[in-house]
Structure 1
């Protein structure tokens, strides 16, 4: 019972501190940050620009990545029988004509 009372007192104190700390002064206006006086100071920074125009892109682009299908399809054989070997796993790179099952 004493532990519950102590825990209750601690929780009430924590809540009181949070409420008082979050109260803040609501009438206080946000003040802008003060910057040092730089009147008369001129800094020149060289800048280069380039005008871009839209044009057709006909070059070959080679990238590395993973191609994932948007939809899955059911794979079935034309004839029934037993599977002798399973030659491809999930994530394997395949090309057209590769044997997946025998």
Structure 2
């Protein structure tokens, strides 16, 4: 189990320990999806190391933006944000198997 850190907040895999972390992450085919401690989606990291916020509407659709994720907070600089995101992505992808969709 790999713990990733973003702006001092710890995230563990979705199937990881449920009590010693700020939130959870899920490895997708080319990105990471971030969840808060309650299991709600808060954001994602793209394959290029870009952190974006995800807000779920009542109809189940998501709104994506580059606004800071309130649960994580603002980074000291955009360069630091990208470095931490790339490091988190690299660590998670090399240790956790990606979630793949069934293809027919």
Higher helix share: 1
**TM-score for the superposition, normalised by structure 2:** 0.16
Higher strand share: 2
**TM-score for the superposition, normalised by structure 1:** 0.16
Say which structure, 1 or 2, has more relative contact order (CA 8 Å, 6+ apart).
Answer: 2
| Bigger radius of gyration among the two | 1
